[in-house]
Amino acid sequence: MNQSQPNNPLHGITLKSILEYLVAEYGWERLGDRIHIQCFISNPSINSSLKFLRKTEWARKKVERLYLYSVSYDDRHGKNSPDLDEIEVESETGSEMESDIGAEMDSEIQPGSPWDRARQK
């Protein structure tokens, strides 16, 4: 089973890192609203959720699907891109001038797919 899995976007990403990402992104309450699993609603913790998800395939599939959707949504909508308030538009020339914050954020954007970035964490 040491074969490479080039078509599996979750290859190399642990269930724990997926769960930690989702908790950081949504929080336990919103995660419980999105995926109706008791371990997300009643006294949630990483360890109890991992134990349940490792034993229950249907729940793990839902968590993996939400993770893939969240990561690809962030990539599609540029979560690291500057807000519109941080970009000044000169109407006379039609050119855009980015503020210092926008320039900083552009330098922090990492190349590669979102799955490669998740594996690096």
pTM above 0.85, yes or no: no
**Superfamily of the domain at 15-80:** SAP domain (1.10.720.30)
Over its C-alpha atoms, the chain yields an Rg (Å, rounded) of 19
Report the greatest alpha carbon distance in the chain. 62
Over the stretch 18-47, which tens digit does the pLDDT of each residue have? 999 999 999 999 999 999 999 999 999 999
Distance of CA 67 to the CA centre of its chain: 6
Over the stretch 39-98, which tens digit does the pLDDT of each residue have? 999 999 999 999 999 999 999 999 999 999 998 876 766 665 444 444 344 334 444 444
For residues 113 and 92, what is the distance between their CA atoms, to the nearest angstrom? 37
Q: What dihedral angle (degrees, nearest 10) is formed by the CA atoms of 54, 62, 22, 78?
A: 140
Domain boundaries, the chain: 15-80
